[in-house]
Chains A and B, each alone.
Chain A
Amino acid sequence: MPRERTVPIRSDLDIVTARVEGRELAKELGFGVIDQARIATAISELTRNIVQYAEQGEAIMRPVEVSGRVGLEIICQDEGPGIPDVGLAMQDGFSTSTSLGMGMPGAKRLMDEFEIESEIGIGTTVIIRKWLR
């Protein structure tokens, strides 16, 4: 199994590092080029949210195995302001910043699993997974 990687997220440069590392890990795990692009794009969206809203955080990427299924898990976490209304943030076109608001719902559509926990003043953690078929 490939090793776990952690990318600190502080600026737009780290967004590129995170998606390049994520794509590399996906490739090592045996994901095809289309899934590699989905995973890299989802990482790009979630890490950009960190830069825009929380200023800094990290992306942890690791292989996972659950009852014989192999997949890739990415945890994007920050200690930013938190999201007041997660339901609203998951709607297409909703954004409080400069992006088009495609980030979170878009990342969810690109991946197999999407979990979010956010608490005001504490921070936000988003976990996404893609399984090998």
Chain B
Amino acid sequence: MIEASRIPILKIEEFLVASVQVELYDKSAVMFKENLLERIYETKAKGMILDLTAVEVVDSFMGRIITEVGAMAALMGTRVVITGLQPAVAITLVELGLELEGVYTALNLEKGIVALRRMIAEGEE
């Protein structure tokens, strides 16, 4: 079984970056969500990128986890941007009826960092 704790959550300046490269089982997805929130608390990161470039299936369970990470991090004062959703994943999410409401997305990691910087700057004005 893939341990959620083996997904690295890296800190770069004031941001956290986590890239999911493995198939997450339901229980490991829940554990991963908790790990992300703990790392936010420990590092006081202002923003977090959740990179899903390598993820091939986002079903309703995983979709809910993603939405929850965004909402929970927001309660802690941290912005989350999802990056790298594959076209096939975006298509199935919409057809499934899940549009990840309230979740910010960007095409790739680079654009995600730009979006985070902008969101944080707007928040500090």
What does the 1/0 interface line of A62-85 toward B look like (CB < 8 Å)? Answer: 000000000000000000000000
User: Is B102 at the interface (CB under 8 A from chain A)?
Assistant: no
Q: Evaluate whether A99 and B60 lie within 8 angstroms (CB atoms) in the complex, with A12-B27, A105-B97, A109-B96 already known.
A: yes
How far apart sit A16 and B61, CA to CA, in the bound complex (Å)?
A: 12
With both beta carbons as reference points, the residue of chain B lying nearest to A38 in the complex is identified as B92
> When A and B form their complex, which 7 residue pairs have the shortest distance between CB atoms, in order from nearest?
A37-B88, A12-B26, A106-B96, A44-B59, A102-B60, A34-B88, A12-B25
Nearest CB to that of A93 among chain B residues? B97
User: Shortest beta-carbon distance, A63 to chain B, in Å?
Assistant: 21
Interface of A is mostly: helix
Can you list 21 A-B contacts (CB < 8 A)?
A: A12-B26, A13-B25, A15-B26, A23-B56, A23-B57, A36-B88, A37-B92, A38-B95, A40-B57, A45-B59, A45-B96, A48-B26, A99-B60, A99-B61, A99-B64, A100-B63, A102-B97, A102-B98, A105-B97, A106-B96, A106-B97
Residues A109 and B26 in contact, CB atoms below 8 Å apart: no
Chain B proximity of A67: nearest CB distance (Å):
27
B92 touches A15 (CB 8 A): no
Q: Judge if A57 is at the interface, Cβ distance under 8 Å.
A: no
Chain A positions 12 through 25: 1 when the CB is less than 8 Å from some CB of chain B, otherwise 0: 11011001100100
> Separation in Å of the B102 CB from the closest CB of chain A?
14
Evaluate contact between A110 and B64: CB separation under 8 angstroms. no
What's the Cα separation between A101 and B95 when bound, in Å? 14
Residues of A near any B CB (own CB < 8 A)? 12-13, 15-16, 19-20, 23, 33-34, 36-38, 40-41, 44-45, 48, 92, 99-100, 102-103, 105-106, 109-110
Q: Which of B82-97 contact A (CB under 8 A)?
A: 86-89, 91-92, 95-97
A5–B59 CA distance with the chains assembled, in angstroms: 22
How far, in Å, is B108 (CB) from chain A's closest CB?
Answer: 18
Q: How far is the CA of A93 from the CA of B13 in the complex (A)?
A: 40
Picked from A13, A36, A38, A103, the residue with its CB within 8 Å of the CB of B60 is A103
Residue B23 at the chain A interface, CB threshold 8 Å: yes
Among the listed B56, B60, B88, which residue makes an inter-chain contact with A45, where contact means beta carbons less than 8 Å apart?
B60
Interface residues of B in 29-52 (CB under 8 A from A): none
Distance A102 CA – B3 CA, assembled complex (angstroms): 27
